[in-house]
Amino acid sequence: MSNYRELEAKFKQYRSRVTRGTEAAMRKTAAKMTKDMRENVPVDTGALRGSIRYSVSKATGEIVVRIHANAQSAEGTKYAEFIEFGTGIYNQHGDGRKTPWVVSAVVHGVPRTWTTHGMVAHPFIRPAFRKYLPELQKSIQRTMRVDGIGPSGW
């Protein structure tokens, strides 16, 4: 490169392409992850599966992808974490309740009461993340090598 302005233009071009390519890779990966999560989440009413979405923001120059699973119980409790990690003695964090408890609910119009030790985990978020993270990393690495500029072309 013959001068500073030419080099500066190449850097701007590189940054723009990497930003666009990274955003596209993140959107594509988020779409695949949410599809995978919807296919693998346990379904009772379908509320949790229906709440799985992703959003992309670029507020401060950073590309941020958030994947949401925001279903709530009738009482207003968000419960995706309970499905993902389990509850009670089955909680995969190890911090679940260690003693049984009594649950009362109306099931199909019939009042019911039972004792439980918790619920076994049914992971659907972490497996999708583990499945698609390597693909995202490779996509971003490819983006950084466009047109012979970037780390492999210098």
Please report the beta strands in the chain, taking only residues with DSSP state E, as ranges in sequence order. 52-57, 64-69, 101-107, 110-116
Q: Per-residue pLDDT tens for 106-131?
A: 889 999 999 999 999 999 999 999 99
Task: Tell me the chain's radius of gyration from C-alpha atoms.
Answer: 23
Please report the beta strands in 70-148, taking only residues with DSSP state E, as ranges in sequence order. 101-107, 110-116
Of the candidates 84, 81, 85, 103, the one whose C-alpha atom is nearest the C-alpha of residue 93 is: 85
Distance separating alpha carbons of residues 34 and 69, to the nearest angstrom:
9
Q: Per-residue pLDDT tens for 15-37?
A: 888 888 889 999 999 999 999 99
Distance separating alpha carbons of residues 152 and 148, to the nearest angstrom:
7
**Tell me, what's the pLDDT at 154?**
46
Distance separating alpha carbons of residues 153 and 1, to the nearest angstrom:
13
pTM above 0.85, yes or no: no
Q: Per-residue pLDDT tens for 64-95?
A: 999 999 999 888 899 999 999 999 999 999 89
